[in-house]
Every structure is written in structure tokens, then in C-alpha cells.
Amino acid sequence: MRGPFWIDQRDTTYIFPPVELALDEPDGLLAAGGDLTPRRIINAYRQGVFPWYSSDQPILWWSPNPRSILIPAQLKVSRSLRKQLRKQPFRITIDHCFKEVLQQCAAPRSYTDGTWITAEMQAAYCELHDQGVAHSFEAWQGETLVGGLYGLALGKLFFGESMFSRATDASKIAFVYAVKQLEAWGFALIDCQVASEHLKSFGAIQVPRNRFIEYTLQLTSLSPHPLPWQFDEGFDPLVNTGHSDG
């Protein structure tokens, strides 16, 4: 029997159905229902599953095949972006305003009026941030927040969720800073969930779901990086960074 399966809110095992039972169309839909308690969300990510739904839907849980990932050591930065990085047009911080980054990521985009980062999702991920599991990287012009991204860190795997930009290259530069600092901390993988041309330009690749699950089981079992998160002294995002044409 294939998904989607119904998850009762009263379920306290927090075990999801095997990801191999997810639908092929829509790709990766595994289950519906449940709740967004920190324990359920964390267990979902550890099992290769993440929530993604609209406000007019029940909570939907996904595990697409293939899975888009980025190996930090294989990050590619275009020549034009490297030039921008050298100019240091933004001040980049970590965990300075997680809630604001989340709100900006949830704001309507030019191509749609809707958002999958519902009020319920925002509250859940803010709670995960309070627990030291969810983190944000921010780009500033003066005292104005102009870009950023957020995600979850379990062990040595960072699950990227969303990013936003209000100034040219702000989210891209924040992303480069994030990837290179995570690499320095021993993170071996960044989950990008679903492929996009934007992420491919940074070196993201697709791997079979079963291989991603193997990575997930191994990396999430490792010791997490200690709190608080802050950039290493003398950190330089251009050190050991490959480049791509452009």
C-alpha cells in the first residue's frame, strides 16, 4: 500500500511510515495529519521527511525521490559573486533575529500571493530555535535586515528550509557564509530538499532517496555543534571555495 498515510495527533511514537511508500506523483507525498510539535518535526527530519503544506490543507509530510543535497566542500561560487564577496557589501550574522528571518521568508513573493510557511509553521520553528535546533543566517545593510536563510541542524546535517533577499545578492552571500561556516564546523551535508536551478548553480546535486536516508541516519547521530552559534574568529568564506563560470 502506498501513501499518503494519516497520522493521528494522539500518536506518540513519532515514527513515520517507510519513505519507500511515498507517492511518485506528487513526488514524495508520504503522510498527512499529525501536529508540529518539536518532537514530531525532529523525528520527521531524522527519518528523511519534512512538512510542507498550505494554510487550506492538513499538514502534509514529504520525502521526495531523488533528494537535492549540497556537499559543503563542493560549493561553487560564480566569479561575479566572488567579486561581490570581496567587497563585503553586507554584515552577516547568525541567530540574531530568527523570527524576523522566518517572517521575511514567509512574505508573499512576486510570483505568488500564498506561502507554505504558515503561522503554525512559524510558531513551530521558532520553538525549535528556542531549543537550539533551528538557526538563521542574516545579511544586514547598516541596521536593516536585507536577506537571510534558516534551517534545522541535527548532528552534522543542516536541513535548509528557505531564504529571502531584499537587496541584490543578499541571500546568496548569506548562503555562502552559511555553507562555509557549516563546513568548518564539520557539517558534511546540506539538505536542499527539492532541486532548483538556483541551488544547482551553487553545486547542489540530486541523489537517490535511499542514499539520502543513509546519510541522514549517519550524520544526525553525530554530536551537534555547541551553542551559541557564531562565526569563527578570522572566518573567511572565500577560503577553499571553488568557482563556477558566470
Classify strands 157-165 and 50-51 as parallel, antiparallel or unpaired. Answer: unpaired
The single-letter code of the amino acid at 234 is: G
| Cβ contacts of 23 within 8 Å, gap of 6 or more | 2, 3, 4, 29, 30
Locate 22 and state its grid cell.
511515498
pLDDT of residue 110: 53
The SS3 call for residue 115 is: coil
Q: Tell me the pTM.
A: 0.94
pLDDT of residue 131: 98
Distance between CA atoms of residues 161 and 157, nearest Å: 13
The CATH number of 5-65 is: 3.30.70.3550
Distance between CA atoms of residues 154 and 220, nearest Å: 5
The neighbouring-strand residues paired with 159 are: 152, 191
- What are the pLDDT tens digits along the chain (246 aa)? 787 999 999 999 999 999 999 999 999 999 999 999 999 999 999 999 999 999 889 999 999 999 999 999 999 999 999 999 999 999 999 999 999 999 999 987 554 444 679 999 999 999 999 999 999 999 999 999 999 999 999 999 999 999 999 999 999 999 999 999 999 999 999 999 999 999 999 999 999 999 999 999 999 999 999 999 999 999 999 987 766 655
Which residue, 46, 62, 41, is CA-closest to 218? 46
pLDDT of residue 177: 98
Q: 98 φ, ψ to 5°?
A: -55, -50
Do 190 and 158 meet the contact criterion of CB atoms below 8 Å apart? Answer: yes
pLDDT of residue 3: 79
pLDDT of residue 116: 75
DSSP H stretches of helix in the chain: 38-46, 79-87, 98-106, 119-130, 170-184, 197-200, 209-219
Which residue, 188, 195, 181, 197, is CA-closest to 240? 181
In the chain, domain spans: 5-65, 68-244
The fold adopted by the segment(s) 68-244 is: Aminopeptidase (3.40.630)
Topology alike, domains 5-65 and 68-244 = no
